[in-house]
């Protein structure tokens, strides 16, 4: 009997980025959902200054509820880890375990920006004001995510969209302890490391979550889909 996977993308991306991993998982008999968060990917036309962290948490909760999913393996990549942790606070009864793929992790009441170095925050804020209409952060090149293959990089750069600024400014509103008592695995992409999210690794260690290293870059679902699919099903 296959498992049910809900794969949540990170900043600037969309459900499209999971295409290769989803194909592998479905081929192995699993059920896979790859929702796109509000204002991104094919939902970029919904971008507004009102799209906050609460919005994207609700996006994930809504998929679990409207598809009537239970026993879910809920996966969050990069910024998507915050949406996943928020959903775990709301509907833990629908989730079997959490997997954070090179995830951005902050404590309750902190913002996504609190989990990034000050110079990165300043750059993103400035870019949002200068090139994002004050509501969105323009995407960086694919190389920033460790995507080095030329064809892959071209595909990623065609698809990346500006990311809602408010979702990084709004605090993670959770009532229960982080992870809400569910099993949590953290997949650390080590080659090359995405150093901007390193502060969250201390939280992962403090919480005693499982830690695995992957010898690939930040966008592992694109650069090493077989590796990611293998880790998700192990």
Q: Is 78 a catalytic residue?
A: yes
Give the separation between CA 223 and CA 106, rounded to whole angstroms: 26
Q: Please state the φ and ψ torsions of residue 133, each to the nearest 5 degrees.
A: 65, 15
- Is this model's pTM higher than 0.85 or not? yes
* Residue 136 binned pLDDT confidence (cut-offs 50, 70, 90): very high
Residue 154 domain boundaries: 4-233
Measured distance CA(11)–CA(163) in Å, rounded: 6
Residue 230 CB neighbours (<10 A): 13
- Angle, to 10 degrees, between the axis of helix 19-27 and the axis of helix 225-233? 50
Domains in the chain, number? 1
**Cα-Cα-Cα-Cα dihedral of 55, 189, 158, 43, to 10°?**
-10
Instruction: State percent of the chain over pLDDT 70.
Output: 100
Mean pLDDT computed over every residue of the chain? 98
* Three-state DSSP state, 159: helix
Q: 53-66 vs 80-90: helix axis angle to the nearest 10?
A: 60
pLDDT tens digit sequence for 111-131: 999 999 999 999 999 999 999
The pLDDT value given to residue 1: 78
Spot the catalytic one: 48, 78, 143, 199: 78
What are the pLDDT digits (tens) for 75-113? Answer: 999 999 999 999 999 999 999 999 999 999 999 999 999
Q: What is the pLDDT of residues 140-149, one digit of tens each?
A: 999 999 999 9
**Is the per-residue pLDDT at 206 higher than 90?**
yes
Ramachandran angles phi, psi of 226, nearest 5°: -65, -40
CATH number for the domain that contains residue 51 = 3.40.50.1820
């Amino acid at each position: 009997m296959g498992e049910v996977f809900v794969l949540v993308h990170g900043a600037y991306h969309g459900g499209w980025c999971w295409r290769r991993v989803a194909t592998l998982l479905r081929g192995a008999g699993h059920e896979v959902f790859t929702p796109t968060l509000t204002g991104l990917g094919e939902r970029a036309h919904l971008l507004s200054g009102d799209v906050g962290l609460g919005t994207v948490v609700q996006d994930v909760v809504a998929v679990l509820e409207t598809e009537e999913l239970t026993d879910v393996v809920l996966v969050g990549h990069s910024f998507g880890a915050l949406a996943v942790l928020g959903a775990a606070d709301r509907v833990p009864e629908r989730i079997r375990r959490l997997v954070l793929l090179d995830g951005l992790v902050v404590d309750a009441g902190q913002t996504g920006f609190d989990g990034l170095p000050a110079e990165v925050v300043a750059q993103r804020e400035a870019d949002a004001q200068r090139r994002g209409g004050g509501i969105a952060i323009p995407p960086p090149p694919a190389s920033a995510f460790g995507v080095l293959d030329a064809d892959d990089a071209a595909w990623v750069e065609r698809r990346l969209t500006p990311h809602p600024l408010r979702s990084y400014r709004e605090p993670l509103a959770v009532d229960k302890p982080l992870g809400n008592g569910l099993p949590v695995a953290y997949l650390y992409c080590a080659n090359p490391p995405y150093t901007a999210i390193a502060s969250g690794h201390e939280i992962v260690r403090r919480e005693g979550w499982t830690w695995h290293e992957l010898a690939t870059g930040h966008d592992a679902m694109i650069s090493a889909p077989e590796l990611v699919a293998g880790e998700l099903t192990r």
